Chain A
């Protein structure tokens, strides 16, 4: 149980285009999901907390208009990188908390999405 999926796993896009990444909790409901960014050989950095039915909470330094987050249902959160530029190239990882069967302080991670902006 407690599986989180991400789609796509890899995406390559041209500079100036927008890219949407989906994060789904497959077998549980997630009122809260988290979006992280990981640069090569570096740690995960929390970008924002996605709350179902309300606005996301962004970490300091993260551009809200650049990284649009929508959490429209209890099993789906999306991250849209708008007007992507090469510096947005990174590994994006989502996680979700399972308040049902699992411990609420446990985050279950998706496999990540590799974004490359040309």
Chain B
């Protein structure tokens, strides 16, 4: 079965410090991984996907098939990064998404 695990429910770092939100997955097929973000009082929105290999708002994530991980990283955290972050895996031809439990990131001034 498909599963996405985010081991940290809460993560707090200071502004300017590096951030890493962990995500591990289990899936027997070829995965497509995503990071979604939900800012306070806003809807869930796509942050980035592994296929694009892009950097959005300074965040990057690399798919490591050996470690079955897709950790989200940013070298210098900003206060506006405070939000709920969900890692998700797509399967069945991108028809369905399985979400991790989410990590609430708080950036302290």
Contact = CB atoms under 8 A, between A and B. Distances in A.
Contacts, number: 39
A43 B102 contact: yes
A110 B43 contact: yes
Interface of B: 9, 32, 42-46, 49, 51, 86, 90, 94-102
Interface string A40-51: 011111100100
Nearest to A4: B43
Given A105-B32, A105-B49, A106-B46, A44 B90 contact: no
A109 B45 contact: yes
Nearest to B87: A43
Q: Interface of chain A, helix or strand or loop or mixed?
A: strand
Contacts of B46: 106-107
Contact of A109 (B9, B44, B96): B44
A43 B99 contact: yes
A93 B44 contact: yes
Given A43-B101, A105-B32, A32 B95 contact: yes
